[in-house]
Amino acid sequence: MLRLGFIRSDGSEFTPRAGAALTQKPPTTMKKYTKSSKLFLITLASSAAFCLTGYGADTYKIDPVHSSVIFSTKHNGVTDFYGRFNEINGTVTFDPADPSKSSVDITVPVESLDTHNDKRNQHLKSPDFFNSKQFPNLTFKSTKIEGTGNTYRVTGDLTIHGVTKPITIEFNRGPDQKGGKGETHGGGETKFTIKRGDYDMKFMAGPVGDDVTVILSVEGVKE
C-alpha cells in the first residue's frame, strides 16, 4: 500500500489524517501583486471616466483681427474684381467626436464693406446692391455638419439682402495652436461661389457678374 508522507521543517516525517484539508498560504509576493493589480484597475477606470466626462464640444469665439471675408466677381467680363468685409463676429462650436453636434454662427456687418474706393463702397451699400440701412448684416447659421479629420461639409442658411438660402460648403479645419498668453486658437477656411441674383441683387447684371466667389477664413479663441 502506498503511503503518502510529508516532511516537517525539523526533518521528521508525518502522514495527514484521511479527509484532512491541506492548506497553503499564498506567497507574500502574490498578495502584493493582487493588491497592486486592483489599485491599477481602479486608477485606470477613474482616469477613463474623467476623460469621457471632460471630452466634448469646444466653442471658439471668432477673432475679427485674424479672420477674413473676401469676395470677387467679374467686371465687364474681363477679369475678377476683389473686395472684402473688414468686420466679422460669431462663434464656432466643434465636437471632434461627433461633428453633428458642431455648429457655426457668423455675422458680417455690411457697413464694413471695403473695395478700396469710397464712392464705390457707398454705391454697393446703397439700395442698388446690399442696402445696408435696411439689411445691415450678412449671416450664416449652420444646420448640419458632417465629416472627419480636417475636412467637413457644412450646410446652413446664408442670409444676404434679406434673402435666406440654404448652401453647403466644404470647410478645411486647421490645427489648434497656443497663443502668446497660453490661449488656444483654432479655425480654418472655405471657398465657395453663389449667385447674387439668388439674393435679389440684380442691379447692373452683365457689367457686374452674377457669380460671386467668397473666401472665408476664420480664426477663433477657445472659450
Domain boundaries, the chain: 22-53, 57-222
Which CATH number does the domain 57-222 belong to among 2.40.128.110, 3.40.50.720, 3.30.230.10, 3.40.30.10? 2.40.128.110
The predicted structure's pLDDT at residue 46:
46
Q: What is the pTM of this model?
A: 0.74
Q: What is the pLDDT along the chain (223 residues), one digit of tens a residue?
A: 445 555 555 555 555 555 554 455 555 555 555 555 555 545 444 444 434 334 579 999 999 999 999 999 999 999 999 999 999 999 999 998 999 999 999 999 999 999 999 999 999 999 999 999 999 999 999 999 999 889 999 999 999 999 999 999 999 999 999 999 999 999 999 999 999 999 999 999 999 999 999 999 999 999 9
The candidate with the shortest Cα–Cα distance to 99, out of 158, 141, 55, 57, is 57
- The identity of residue 54, as a single letter, is G
Q: What is the DSSP string of 177-195?
A: EE-TTS-EEEEEEEEEEEE
Q: What is the DSSP string of 70-91?
A: EEEEEETTTEEEEEEES--EEE
Range list of H helices, the chain:
28-54, 118-125
Between CA 190 and CA 157 the distance in angstroms is 15
The predicted structure's pLDDT at residue 207:
95
Between CA 83 and CA 161 the distance in angstroms is 17
Between CA 121 and CA 123 the distance in angstroms is 5
Q: Show the cell assigned to 85.
A: 468685409
HSE-CB of 147 using CA atoms within 13 angstroms: 19
Which helix or strand (DSSP H or E) is residue 109 part of?
strand 103-109
The predicted structure's pLDDT at residue 5:
53
